[in-house]
Amino acid sequence: MVSVTRRLLLLALLLPALSAIAQSAGREAEVKIKAAFLYKFGDFVEWPPSALERSGGRFTIGVLGADDIAAELERVVAERTIKGRPVSVRRIRRGDSLANLHMLFVGRSESLRLGEIMSATDGQPVLTVTETENALASGSMINFIAVDDKVRFDVALAPAGRGQLKISARLLAVARKVVAA
Amino acid sequence: MQARHSIRHKILAMKFATTLAALLVAIAAMISYDLWLYHRGWIADMTTQADFLGRTTAPALTFDDARVARENLELLRARPKIRAAAIYDARGRQFVGFALPDEAPFPQLPEADGARVERDSVVVFKRVVSNGEILGTVYIRAEYELYDRLLAYLGIAALVTAVAMVVALLFSRWVHRVVVAPLLAISTVAAEITEKHNFALRADERSKDEIGMLARSVNAMLAEIERATRELEASNLQFSAEVGERRRAEEEIRELNARLEQRVKERTSQLEYTNGELETFCYSVSHDLRAPLRAIDGFSQALLEDFSGELPKEGQRYLERIRSSTQRMGQLIEDLLNLSRVSRTELQLADVNLGEIAQQVVGELQLREPGRAVAVSIWEDMQGRADSRLVRAALENLIGNAWKFTSRKDEPRIEVGCLREGKRSTFFVRDNGAGFDMAYADKLFGAFQRLHSPQEYQGTGIGLATVQRIVHRHGGRIWAEAKPDKGAVFFFTLAPAAETGAPEPIAAEAAA
């Protein structure tokens, strides 16, 4: 018992410092991975053709409340296409229109307004991706979570179905959890 | 037998070699084709497998999900031929992997796309590409059983070859038993027959096929030969018996002939001796008779001349008759002497012209009786090989007869001629005088045989006998043809019949 207590004590003392180091180094990798994942999701999701025709033939990804990811994403998609189209990354501020988006990433900083944002896009052909715990309950379609220092994601099929989006079974195969309802 | 067997073995060996070669080539072709198919198919299969795995694992690679990737990889365990598999990420680090125990370590780095054979395994690397981006590489190492298969096939081939050889051997045995053996049996029978001349041997003809037919034909032939041989032997026996008999008969005949000849010789010599005696007797009698006859005639003539005045007329007439009788007797004796001389003198053969002699004879006859006018025609060139004195005597007789027997004809004609056919000459003397009845033709040439009375025609009856003897001495023949009052033809030859041939047809022609 003694040794366990001492270990816990030590852990408690060291935790804030370790966490800070870990977070600064971890966030950087996390941003890269998440940006890459966002780009890759395009391969595994089918949009209705009418939706793809909008916004001048460009595939538009909106990023809300996560500028680091937006920046990384811009870098990732710079020379790439999704569904054969060039990709635009739009940084969205509070109150900006959410129209003409194909994908929307909502950062952790906007987690409190998540329900509001999700309801705004609900029924629209916009793939919504979040990084907040229990975000699926708010109506998000894909939600990043960290598992053993790795970025994983859960998928909710119901809101995607409402947005006429088809998520590939191959994507579902690598999802941590798939919520049908 | 040795040669035949060796040929049989050669054919057998050849058959086996052919079968073996065909079999080996076929098996080699099949094996090569199969192995090629296997190689290609297996590499294609593994490449496809790698590709499939890559596609399946693409999301896991994309989203860095080793768990899912491992799950995907674990599916390969359903294929036990896959010994090891791994997935490398885009940077070449091993993402997940699995290997069966005792398997070689995974390669440190993925290689370029492709498949290669490494001893007993095939190694496949396959890039996982999505949207033009390389996500990673699939590595598969699977068993490559080409050599095992090859070994298995070789085993099967050996087994098949062995079985085929055994079957071929059995088949060949069967063929030999069914086809070759009966033929050999027939040939053996034929050879035995040739060696031993035993035609009682027979070939086995139980088979119902062509060989049976052959055997039956051979047997039929043999039966025929046997029968013919037996007949031949029988007839040979008979023949030799006949030959023996004939030889005996010939022997007997020869003996008889010899005996006969001996007897003939004896008789002939006896006859010749008797004849000679007779002729000598006849000659000496005739010779001795002439002297007293001449005395009778001489003294009769002296009586008539010296005492004609003292003898009465009656007496003178008697004396005249005595003289005429003695003269006739003298003539007779002369003729007999001539006849005897013909037999006794040696033949002096020379080439004589019978025509010339006939001409002289006719001339003498005309001198003796100049008052007669006889149409005589003598053919020219009547050469013959003869004794001229004897031929002259014969012609004197024959022409003299013709002269005599034509004396009462108004137009007497005499023809002397010769018929030739090859070397054969047949002479004839023809007249149109009194002729004679052919019924007496056989008496014509006997001595003292006369067909006419002395009152009708003078003659001693010895002339034709003399002619016949002359002709016979030359080895010829003489015969005559005549009709009463129509004339006669006398034919004769001066050489043996063997040299001259048969003269009869020509004679008949000449007589016509």
What integer pLDDT is reported at residue A165 of this predicted model?
A: 92
Closest-approach residue (CA) in chain B for A83: B131
What CA–CA distance (Å, rounded) separates A5 from B230? 138
In a domain, B195, yes or no: no
3-state DSSP percent of chain B in helix, strand and coil, to 5: 60, 15, 20
Could you tell me if residue B156 is inside a domain? no
Check pLDDT > 60 for residue A15: no
Q: Which pLDDT value is given to residue A103?
A: 93
Q: Please judge whether A43 and B131 are an interchain contact, meaning their C-beta atoms are less than 8 angstroms apart.
A: yes
> Which of A43, A150, A174 lies closest to B60 in CB terms?
A174
Q: What mean pLDDT do residues B146-174 have? A: 86
8-state DSSP, A112: G
Contact B63 A43 (CB under 8 A): no
Q: B480 lies in a domain?
A: yes
Chain A residues within 8 Å of chain B (Cβ atoms):
33, 37, 40, 43-44, 80, 150-153, 168, 170-171, 173-174
CA distances from B489 to A106, B431, B438, B511 (A): 181, 7, 12, 6
Confidence check: pLDDT of B188 > 80:
yes
Residue A174 has its nearest CB partner, among B68, B130, B131, at B68
Kindly state whether residues B320 and B300 are assigned to the same domain: yes
pLDDT for res A45: 93
If contacts are CB pairs under 8 Å, which of residues 38-67 in chain B contact chain A? 56, 58-60, 62-65
Token output for A175 = 């999802």
Q: Quick: pLDDT tens for A71-130.
A: 999 999 988 888 888 999 999 988 888 888 899 999 988 888 888 888 888 888 999 999
B70: nearest CA partner in chain A: A174
Handedness of CA B416, B419, B424, B429 (dihedral sign): negative
CB B133 within 8 A of CB B139: no
Q: For residue B503, what pLDDT is reported?
A: 44
Residue with tokens 């296409």: A81
Based on the domain organization, do B370 and B496 belong to the same domain? yes
State the pLDDT confidence band at B4, using cuts at 50, 70 and 90.
low
More confident residue, B480 or B504: B480
Return d(Cα B464, Cα B108) in angstroms, integer: 163
Interface membership of B336 toward A (CB under 8 Å):
no
List pLDDT tens digits, range B451-500.
777 666 767 778 888 888 899 888 889 999 988 888 899 999 988 765 44
Q: What is the pLDDT of residues B373-418, one digit of tens each?
A: 889 999 888 888 888 888 998 999 899 989 988 888 888 999 999 9
Domain that holds residue B406: 348-511
Please say whether the beta carbons of A165 and A45 come within 8 A.
Answer: yes
Kindly state the average pLDDT of the residues B49-77.
88
Q: Is B52 within 8 Å of A29 (Cβ atoms)?
A: no
B119 is a domain residue: yes
What part of B 126-165 touches A (C-beta under 8 Å)? 130-131
B68 and A173 within 8 Å at the Cβ level: the answer is yes
B23 domain-assigned: yes
Min distance A88 CA to chain B CA atoms (Å): 18
Per DSSP, A87 falls in state E
What architecture (CATH level 2) is domain A34-179?
Answer: 3-Layer(aba) Sandwich (3.40)
- Point out the domain boundary residue: B111, B135, B150: B150
Same domain? For B290 and B353 the reply is no
Residues B383 and B422 both lie in one domain: yes
CB of B108 less than 8 A from some CB of A: no
Residues of A in contact with B130 (CB under 8 A): 43
Does B90 contact A at CB distance below 8 Å? no
| B494 inside domain | yes
CA dihedral B419, B425, B426, B427 (to 10 degrees): 80
Both B250 and B264 in one domain: the answer is: yes
pLDDT reported for residue A142:
94
Site of tokens 């000598």 = B280
* Same domain for B328 and B209: yes
Angstrom CA distances, B304 to B73, B293, B294, B482, stand at: 197, 16, 15, 45
CA B145 to CA B245: how far, in whole Å? 101
Taking residues B419-428, report their average pLDDT: 86
Interchain proximity B59–A173, CB inside 8 Å: yes
HEC per residue, B144-186: CCHHHHHHHHHHHHHHHHHHHHHHHHHHHHHHHHHHHHHHHHH
Q: Which of B316, B344, B372 is the last residue of a domain?
A: B344
Task: Test B62 with A174 for CB contact under 8 angstroms.
Answer: yes
State the pLDDT confidence band at B286, using cuts at 50, 70 and 90: confident
Cα separation values, B163 from B20, B24, B27, B30, B172, Å: 11, 13, 14, 18, 14
Q: Which of B56, B63, B68 sits opposite A40 (nearest CB)?
A: B63
The strand pairing partners of A103, in sequence order, are A61, A127
Q: What is the CATH number of the domain that holds B489?
A: 3.30.565.10
pLDDT at B445 over 60: yes
pLDDT digits (tens, 9 = 90+) for B260-274: 888 888 888 888 888
In chain B, residues with a C-beta closer than 8 Å to the C-beta of A170 are 56, 58-59
Domain ranges of chain A: 34-179
Question: What SS3 state is found at B118?
Answer: strand
CB atoms within 10 A of CB B385: 12
**B481 and B407 fall within a common domain:** yes
Q: Domain check: are B506 and B428 in the same one?
A: yes
Backbone φ and ψ of B114, nearest 5°: 145, 170
Residues B251 and B364 in one domain: no
CA distances from B168 to A68, B19, B165, B181 (A): 86, 8, 5, 17
For the residues A164-169, what does the mean pLDDT come to?
Answer: 92
8 Å CB contact between B512 and B482: no
Q: Which of A40, A152, A153 is the best substitution to test chain B (most B C-beta atoms within 10 A)? A: A40
Residue B508 confidence class, pLDDT cut points 50, 70, 90: very low
Tell me which chain A residues have a C-beta less than 8 angstroms from the C-beta of B59.
44, 168, 170-171, 173-174
Query: Where residue B338 falls among pLDDT bands split at 50, 70, 90?
Result: confident
Pairing assessment for the beta strands A103-106 and A127-130 based on DSSP bridges: parallel
Q: Which of A166-170, B46-50, B103-107, B386-390 has the lowest mean pLDDT?
A: B103-107
pLDDT, greater one: B245 or B276 = B245
Amino acid B428: pLDDT: 93
Interface contact flag, A37 B60, Cβ < 8 Å = no
Task: Tell me the pairing of strands B413-421 and B424-431.
Answer: antiparallel
Provide the pLDDT for residue A10.
Answer: 56
Please judge whether A40 and B68 are an interchain contact, meaning their C-beta atoms are less than 8 angstroms apart: no
If we measure between CA atoms, which residue out of B147, B143, B141 comes closest to residue B125?
Answer: B141
Q: How confident is the model at residue B505 (pLDDT cuts 50, 70, 90)?
A: very low
Please tell me whether the interface predicted TM-score (ipTM) of this complex is above 0.90: no
Specify whether B423 is located in the same domain as B478. yes
Q: Which of B60, B63, B130 sits opposite A37 (nearest CB)?
A: B63
Q: B interface mutation test: which of A38, A39, A80, A174 has the most B CBs within 10 A?
A: A174
* Residue A169 parent element (H or E): helix A169-174
If asked whether residues B89 and B141 sit together in one domain, one would say yes
Mean of per-residue pLDDT scores for chain B: 84
Task: DSSP letter for A160, please.
Answer: H
Cβ-based neighbour number of residue A170 at 10 Å? 17
3-state secondary structure of A33: helix
Is pLDDT at B32 greater than 60 in this prediction?
Answer: yes
Residue in chain A closest to B135 (alpha carbons) equals: A40
Give the C-alpha separation, A17 to A27, whole Å: 15
Domain termination residue (choose one: B325, B344, B363): B344
Assess whether B221 and B368 both reside in one domain. no
Neighboring chain B residues of A151 at a CB cutoff of 8 Å: 63-64
Interface mutation target, options B70, B89, B131, B133, chain A, most CBs of A under 10 Å: B131
| Residue A114 and residue A130 in contact, taking contact as beta carbons nearer than 8 Å | yes
Is residue B157 included in any domain, yes or no? no
CA distances from A95 to A62, A92, A120, A136, B104 (A): 13, 8, 11, 22, 61
Q: Tokens for A139, please give them.
A: 């109506």
Is B179 domain-assigned? no
- The nearest alpha carbon in chain A to B65 belongs to A174
> Rounded to whole angstroms, how far apart are CA atoms A152 and B19?
70
Shortest Cα–Cα distance, A80 to chain B (Å): 9
CB atoms within 10 A of CB A156: 24
Q: How many Å apart are CA B38 and CA B40, to the nearest integer? A: 6
Give the minimum alpha-carbon distance from B48 to chain A in angstroms, rounded to a whole number: 19
Q: Average pLDDT in the B419-425 region?
A: 83
Chain A: nearest CA to B66, how far in angstroms?
9
Write the pLDDT tens digit of every residue in B475-484: 889 999 988 8
The verdict on pTM exceeding 0.90 is: no
CA distance B398 to B404: 10
**Which has the closest alpha carbon to B469: B350, B355, B342?**
B342
